[in-house]
Amino acid sequence: MTFQITGVTVPREDVDAILALVATVEEAQQKALPDPFLKLFRPEAIWTTGHGRRLFGLGAIGDFTRRVLPGAIDHPTTATYDVEHIVFIRPDVAAVKVRQRPVTRDGRRLDEVFRGHPDPSALAAENPEALPGTPMYVLSKDDGEWRIAAAQNTAVVDPGSLSA
C-alpha cells in the first residue's frame, strides 16, 4: 500500500521504524499477543478503543489488553493494518493514520461487501464484523525508539466512506 509522508524531514530509518511498529500492532492483534502490543506504549500513554473505552496509562491499557486480547484468537475474523499517512510534527513526534481492514483468518477482506452497495448503513447493521477501522497513533521517539503516546481507534460507520 502506498502512503503519504508530510511534515518535517526525517531519515528513512524513522519511517521504516514506524512501519515496523504498525506491523507489530497488526501481528500482536492477529495472534492475540498482549506483551508485544504493550511494549509499543509509553508509560503515560492514552488510548481510546474502537468502542470508546478511554484508557489512561500503561497499567490501565495493560489490564484491558490482557483481559480482551487473548480471547480474540478464537474469533473467525481479525484485521490488517496499513499506514495511510504519517505527519512528522517534529523529528521525534509523528501522527500516523492507519487503515484497519477486517479479514477472515484466511485473509478474505470483509469490508469489500460495502463497496458500491446502495444502502451501506443497513448492511453495516447486518454485518458489524465487516466494519473497517481508522486508528490514529501519535508516536514519540525516546532513546531511539518510537512508542505510542496516544491512540484513537475508531470504527468507520459513515455510509459514504463504507461504499467508496
pLDDT digits (tens, 9 = 90+) for 75-112: 777 889 999 999 999 999 999 999 988 887 887 777 67
Q: Which residues of 68-93 are buried (b: 16+ CB within 10 A; e: fewer)?
A: ebeeeeeeeebbbbbbeebebeeeeb
Residue 140's DSSP bridge partners are 93, 147
pLDDT digits (tens, 9 = 90+) for 18-74: 999 999 999 999 999 999 999 999 999 999 998 889 999 999 999 999 999 888 888
For the chain, domain boundaries: 4-156
Taking domain 4-156, whether its CATH number is 3.10.450.50 is answered by yes
Contact 94, 136 (CB under 8 A): no
pLDDT digits (tens, 9 = 90+) for 123-138: 566 666 667 788 999 9
Structure confidence at residue 39 (pLDDT): 97
pTM of the model: 0.87
